Copies of this chain bind each other. A is one copy, B any other.
Amino acid sequence: MTKVGIIGGTGYTGSELSRILCTHPDIELAALTSRQNAGKKVSDIHTHLKGYLDDLCFTEKISDTKDLDFVFVATPHGVAMQELPALADAGIKVIDLSGDYRIHDIPTYEKWYGHKHTDPEHLEKAVYGLPEFFRDKIKGADIVANPGCYATSAILACAPLMKSGLVEEEIIVDAKSGTSGAGMVPSPRLHHPTCGESIIPYSVGKHRHTPEIEMVVDMFAGGHSKVMFVPQLIPIVRGILSSCYFDLKKDVSDEEISAVYEKQYAGEPFVHYVKEPSIRAVVGSNHAHVASQVLGDKVVAFGVLDNLVKGASGQAVQCMNLMLGLKETAGLNLPGLGV
């Protein structure tokens, strides 16, 4: 059985990986690292894992555990590119959940992330881990850069239309995210009295998922797409709704647009083209909803998902399954909560 480790086991994506992997039928979750919790029982810190990982303790470093076959790097960006090289060079397959290996253009990375990229060598080999569009590449990859939560929701809504050639290359993405997307570190914006009864635009024009969405959408635009990305925090814990606006190149019916999406996602286990997208229908699961509507000479398309699952750890497990030759849905074969 494949032995899997997680670097960064206390944060939300690391915790969510543990939640999914602890019942995964084909792998053994053998290591979680945490500097602050090293030595403690995982299920004493993550009490939702009581009954699942009761014998596992956090370790200080990933190298404390021998013979790992696969490692998830669930650290902040900047830290990830310090951890990944040694693993990759040791022949361990890796998925990085930070932004460090997503942007292949190094100047773009350095401009948006504000520091040098110190690992161009492995960056070159990293595959962008969005299975619905890069399934084959992921299957053959040793290093996968797991997409951002906002980026996944936007790309699922945007890429099919871009491929279709029916829309112009300027896109507006008005995105709304639950608060868990911001991570576990308390901050003034995430303080409940501030955000609990409000909707807060932030990082307008500065959010790092902007170049990521542009990079991927651009692959399908066949030219130079341009994304205006406006993220907004809403008072829910899990879930993203990205409302994406396009100009139609010509008169196109609602049915034609629907057909584009239906064709794209017909065989997908986790992405569903629906009439009424619903966060509650996908929350807690690796499923995503896409919906669209033509209004005059424009289209709005909605991408909906659970930011911690299809927007992070679930998608990473989906990629792991592909990389390991397992069933793509293994460990993820569950519907959303619904209510």
Contact = CB atoms under 8 A, between A and B. Distances in A.
A110 to B, nearest CB: 20
A74 to B, nearest CB: 13
Interface string A36-61: 00000000001111111000000000
Given A204-B300, A235-B236, A243-B232, A194 B48 contact: no
Interface in A183-211: 184, 186-188, 190-201, 204-205
A77 interface: no
Interface string A268-303: 011010101111111111010101010110101010
A174 interface: yes
B243 A245 contact: no
Interface in A258-272: 269-270, 272
A16 interface: yes
Number of copies: 4
Given A15-B339, A47-B289, A197 B279 contact: yes
A106 to B, nearest CB: 22
Interface string A218-241: 000000001010101011111101
A338 interface: yes
Contact of A12 (B178, B272, B339): B339
Interface string A163-180: 000000010101010111
Nearest to A335: B48
A301 to B, nearest CB: 11
A236 B50 contact: no
Contacts of A295: 204-205, 228
Interface residues of A, number: 83
A242 to B, nearest CB: 10
A19 interface: yes
A47 B339 contact: no
A334 interface: yes
A337 interface: yes
A204 to B, nearest CB: 5
A85 interface: no
Contacts of A188: 184, 186
A118 interface: no
A19 B285 CA distance: 12
Contact of A335 (B49, B172, B236): B49
A182 B186 CA distance: 14
B338 A198 contact: no
A82 interface: no
12 contacts: A16-B338, A23-B334, A48-B278, A48-B282, A48-B285, A48-B337, A170-B298, A190-B192, A192-B192, A192-B235, A197-B237, A197-B283
Given A51-B272, A201-B277, A201-B291, 5 more contacts: A12-B193, A179-B193, A179-B196, A184-B188, A237-B339
